[in-house]
Amino acid sequence: MGAAETRRSDNGQNEGEVTAYTDPLTGLGNRYRLRDKISLLSEERAADPAPFTVALVNLDGFKPINDLFGSQAGDEILCQVAHRLQACIPGGAIVTRDSGDEFAIVLPLIFEAAGAERVGHLIKDVLSAPYDLGDRNVRLSASLGFAIHPFAGADFESLMKSAETALYHSKRRGRGQITVYSSEIAQEMRRSTQLEQALRNAIINDDVDVHFQPIVDLRDGRTLGFEALARWIDPDMGFVSPAIFVPLAEERGFIDTLSETLLHKAAEAALTWPRELFLSFNLSSVQMTDPATASRTLTILGNVGLDPSRLDLEITETAVMHSAATASKIIEELRRAGIRISLDDFGTGQSSLGRLRDFTFDKVKIDRAFISAISNDRATEHIVRAIINMCQGLNLEVVAEGIETEAEMNLLLSLGCIMGQGYYFGKPCDAMATLRYLSRQYNNMPLKP
Ligand code: C2E
Ligand code: MG
Ligand code: MG
């Protein structure tokens, strides 16, 4: 028992006080107990300035389990978590239940980040073992955030706020993550919140634009279509890469709005191009988990008046991996409507050839990482050759991404690759510049912006 608690019992606790400091479900202390403990420790440590640590532990995916198996099962899990935490924390530490599926731990003898991380890994492992619910076992993971007194906050409120920031940082990175609060993390969180606000405003004010990069026939340089790429220039931050703001919109839950705005603009631009040219548009991986994606896409095409057979949708392997059944339905529905599906960034990430068998794609885009290495690395050349041969056998079209030199183009042609995209043929440019580019190719085709 910690010094603070000894003092409390020495003073004599009546029953009402016990109830006021106890979480009725788990029997652990509650937030009042936590506040008391931290306040007392802060006072003690004012004389003996050794740091101490507070941890927040939040279960990942607890709500769906609660919804699926009922609140009794949820309560049972929370009690088991409470037991496990009490059993595994180091001597002198106390566990409280903060709220819902969140627990707090005060660690008087953890003084620095490495120690916090060690405890974090132990807790994470202990909580990831299956939970016995009588007739079934359930598995959960936990996210953790640590804050070290006094660096992360000298009083209860500011210390807890820092622990919450650390926990939020963990949650953002996915399940089972551990974060120890630092001023860099706080700054990163502030920056991404600012970025989110600016992006939301940019969408409302119609400031997010779409640019187009040609996809060409390598044999004669003829343009076959364009890939639409999102572009955003913030008045304060300047150019922000879609590789930053697309994942942010996914994470903060407004990728649908962003993507719909972009598809609308891209489809309108495509209407001004010669009919035989296709539009290639990137779908985000989050959209592949939402069954409404197919109908939303078709509605936009309908509103704009673009023939679905002129649209290619680019998706990545991660997108189809997360919820394979939903992704498969979306792909089927889109293909039935005449839209083609491209597998983007092929060869990177969680590549599996099985994906090419399990899903129906029309096209594979070989990632730029392979193309930029192809001229000076024999192994890469063999891999690209194998991908091209395999796609031919599977009746899939192949596009090489990121071609920057004539040598790369010639090598790809000799390997049997027919389509390519990259700075060598053209950088992404806005709708007007795209029309000018086309009018040069099509011998002064009249512009209809
Ligand atoms: P991606 O779909 O693989 O797009 C190709 C990226 O490679 C683009 O980067 C393009 O500008 C770049 N690129 C093309 N040719 C070359 C080259 O020769 N050399 C080099 N160094 N780069 C080349 P960008 O525009 O920065 O987009 C990055 C990623 O952001 C895209 O990768 C895509 O995953 C995502 N993204 C862009 N626009 C959208 C969008 O409208 N919706 C969604 N969901 N994602 C988008
Ligand atoms: Mg793409
Ligand atoms: Mg790509």
Q: Which CATH superfamily is domain 15-181 in?
A: Reverse transcriptase/Diguanylate cyclase domain (3.30.70.270)
Burial category of 227 from C-beta neighbours within 10 Å (exposed 0-12, middle 13-18, buried 19 and up) = buried
Q: What average pLDDT does the segment 423-449 reach?
A: 85
Q: Examine the pLDDT at 378 and tell me if it is beyond 80.
A: yes
Q: What average pLDDT does the segment 223-245 reach?
A: 96
Q: Examine the pLDDT at 7 and tell me if it is beyond 50.
A: no
**What is the three-class DSSP state of 305?**
coil
Say if ligand 1 is within 6 A of residue 339 CB.
no
pLDDT tens readout for residues 52-105: 999 999 999 898 888 888 999 999 999 999 999 999 999 899 999 988 999 999
Whose C-alpha lies nearest to ligand 1, atom 7? Answer: 402
Q: Start-end ranges of CATH 3.20.20.450 in the chain?
A: 192-441
Q: Start-end ranges of CATH 3.30.70.270 in the chain?
A: 15-181
* Rounded Cα distance, 4 and 15, in Å: 18
- Ligand 2 centroid from CA 344, angstroms: 6
- pLDDT tier, 10 (very low <50, low <70, confident <90, very high otherwise): very low
Q: Examine the pLDDT at 8 and tell me if it is beyond 50.
A: no
DSSP E strands: which ranges in 24-84? 52-60
pLDDT value of residue 16: 66
pLDDT tens readout for residues 318-350: 888 777 889 999 999 999 999 999 999 998 866
> Nearest CA to 270 among 256, 280, 282?
280
How far the first Cα of the chain sits from its last, in Å, is 76
Say if ligand 1 is within 6 A of residue 229 CB.
yes
Say if ligand 1 is within 6 A of residue 342 CB.
no
Say if ligand 1 is within 6 A of residue 164 CB.
no
pLDDT value of residue 145: 98
- Backbone phi and psi for residue 349, each to the nearest 5 degrees, phi listed first: 60, -140
- Ligand 1 centroid from CA 214, angstroms: 12
Q: What average pLDDT does the segment 120-140 reach?
A: 93
Q: Which atom of ligand 1 is nearest to the CA of 345?
A: 3
Structure pTM? 0.81
- What class, spelled out in words, does domain 192-441 have in CATH? alpha beta
Half-sphere exposure in the Cβ direction for 149 (13 Å, CA): 30
Q: Examine the pLDDT at 13 and tell me if it is beyond 60.
A: no
Say if ligand 1 is within 6 A of residue 345 CB.
yes
Residue 446 DSSP label: P
pLDDT value of residue 3: 38
Contact 146, 179 (CB under 8 A): yes
In terms of C-beta distances under 8 Å and separation of at least 24 residues, what long-range contacts does 406-415 make, across chains too? Answer: 407/375, 408/371, 408/372, 408/374, 408/375, 409/218, 411/374, 411/375, 411/381, 412/218, 412/371, 412/374, 412/384, 413/218, 413/219, 415/381, 415/384, 415/385, 415/388
pLDDT value of residue 6: 38
